[in-house]
Structure 1
């Protein structure tokens, strides 16, 4: 996967760049009522989802990948005539690319427990961005991996001699 969360995929004979930045993931969560990881799990496992969810992933991924909004909407409207299984697989790849980031360079701590339906609490992202002086527009354009790397860099710059944060297991042991 890529650091900026993009993936290039063929859609109806044309290669498009798909990318879901933080702002796109937030819009997707609002549109589907599901957190991105929960939606990915549902698509992958064949659990309950709507074709509209698949269309929303691909439409927002096209927009995040640089396709103009009117064109992305036009492409999304044509998806109904394409093979469903292939579209589900592409939507899953777009979500996986957005959530995974760079496999060779892990950053940040493991994610906290998700809310209902796997929803992400985006308010915490905006709070962290404000504390670091990162404009909201810049935050919304980042991938999750980029945000985690930004936070790691910010923390290291503030205190380069600080020990790494305790793991969740170490935190639990402190309270035992």
Structure 2
């Protein structure tokens, strides 16, 4: 497979007039789109989630399952993807190329994430909206982040008080 230096969208939209869900098209979600590049090449899909056992059989599944907090029978994705790298209003089939990201060593690609209810979430931003409050500080008050250039680093919550730092994280 060749990605031509392009990143997948956070979620692939169902083509107009098509039947099915986002699970059925172009890998569906970012974690499925990169599945073929993983050593195991597995997809996180509704069938795997409903049949289990997991998380061992599902890439990016939460290592600590809390059925009261996660959907799909207790499954949870706790790695959020920065969908904000895509401009607001961009066509649902558009891609972002790595060469178009201004500062790849400071732009967030993915990291520890949860929503406002403390539930793992698969996105930190969507086109037009970067949601820094979705970053989860679950490692002794730190969050593990993967940056566009491929390096991984940890941040603390206080880092998000710096507006310039957050702007760079968003990829702007």
TM-score strictly above 0.5: no
Q: Normalising by structure 1, what TM-score? A: 0.28
Q: Normalising by structure 2, what TM-score? A: 0.28
Which structure dedicates a bigger proportion of its chain to helix?
A: 1
Choose between structure 1 and 2 for higher RCO, CA contacts under 8 A separated by at least 6 residues: 1
Which structure dedicates a bigger proportion of its chain to strand?
A: 2
